[in-house]
Amino acid sequence: MLSKVKYKAHETAVIDAGCEIGDGTSIWHFSHIMTNCKIGEQCNIGQNVVISPEVILGKNVKVQNNVSIYTGVTCEDDVFLGPSMVFTNVINPRSAINRRDQYAKTKVGIGASIGANATIVCGHDIGKYAFIGAGAVVTKTVPDFALVVGNPAKQIGWVGEYGHRLEFDENGVAVCIESKQEYKLENLIVKRIK
């Protein structure tokens, strides 16, 4: 009889009951996928990753080593989570006070990248194709295509879908140096136009 499991998991990985894991996904050493998670197709879950209950990952999400993704987080398709980055889910945690009913939600938009050792404070969404620099501490919502760095994270520019910084001309138009895609900046909102 053929197995219905169409994903790969290292023998040291722990996968709790009730998880949905998409075809072609790989789960590496010492990772823990907790109950009721939904992980899309073609994801890569690195070593020593914790994915808490009810987390949702879209297709082709890349989770690097030592990442913690806590309840309340949703990542859309093609998200990159750099090594040792972390999400939080309670704004004012205390060991002696149970706040499981106060988890704040965080959504990471399609194609966004979060750099190594970054921290995303709960309740602040990351826009599509945004780029969070290594070590950044995100304490507010990040717009689509925004480039943010630092602690606390501050926006220093814009990036396109390929992750290159965009330089806008006097008409508010920028062209990606790799893809040649065109973008328009208007009223502090970036949209792809070609």
| Chain segment 82-140, per-residue pLDDT in tens | 999 999 999 999 999 999 899 999 999 999 999 999 999 999 999 999 999 999 999 99
125 and 148, same domain (yes or no): yes
Let me know: does 51 contact 70? Beta carbons within 8 Å. Answer: no
87 and 141, same domain (yes or no): yes
pLDDT at 150: 98
84 and 155, same domain (yes or no): yes
What is the model's pTM?
Answer: 0.95
36 and 119, same domain (yes or no): yes
Domain that holds residue 176: 166-194
Supply 103's token pair: 């988890």
Question: In this structure, which amino acid lies at residue 40?
Answer: G
9 and 54, same domain (yes or no): yes
Collapse the DSSP code of 150 into the 3-class scheme (helix H, G, I; strand E, B; otherwise coil) and give the result. Answer: coil
**Considering its fold, how many domains does the chain have in total?**
2
Establish if 182 belongs to a structural domain: yes
Establish if 97 belongs to a structural domain: no
141 and 190, same domain (yes or no): no
| Chain segment 89-98, per-residue pLDDT in tens | 999 999 999 9
173 and 87, same domain (yes or no): no
78 and 135, same domain (yes or no): yes
Supply 107's token pair: 């959504």
Establish if 99 belongs to a structural domain: no
Confidence of residue 185 (pLDDT cuts 50, 70, 90): very high
123 and 186, same domain (yes or no): no
Supply 57's token pair: 């990952």
CA dist list (Å): 116 to 91, 131, 133, 167: 22, 11, 8, 25
Question: In this structure, which amino acid lies at residue 136?
Answer: A
Let me know: does 108 contact 126? Beta carbons within 8 Å. Answer: yes
Q: What is the CATH number of the domain that holds 43?
A: 2.160.10.10
Confidence of residue 4 (pLDDT cuts 50, 70, 90): low
Residue 159 phi/psi, 5° resolution?
Answer: -130, 155
pLDDT mean across residues, the chain: 96
Establish if 170 belongs to a structural domain: yes
Let me know: does 145 contact 111? Beta carbons within 8 Å. Answer: no
Q: How far apart are CA 73 and CA 104, in angstroms?
A: 8
Instruction: Give ∠ CA 40-80-187 in degrees, rounded to 5.
Output: 110
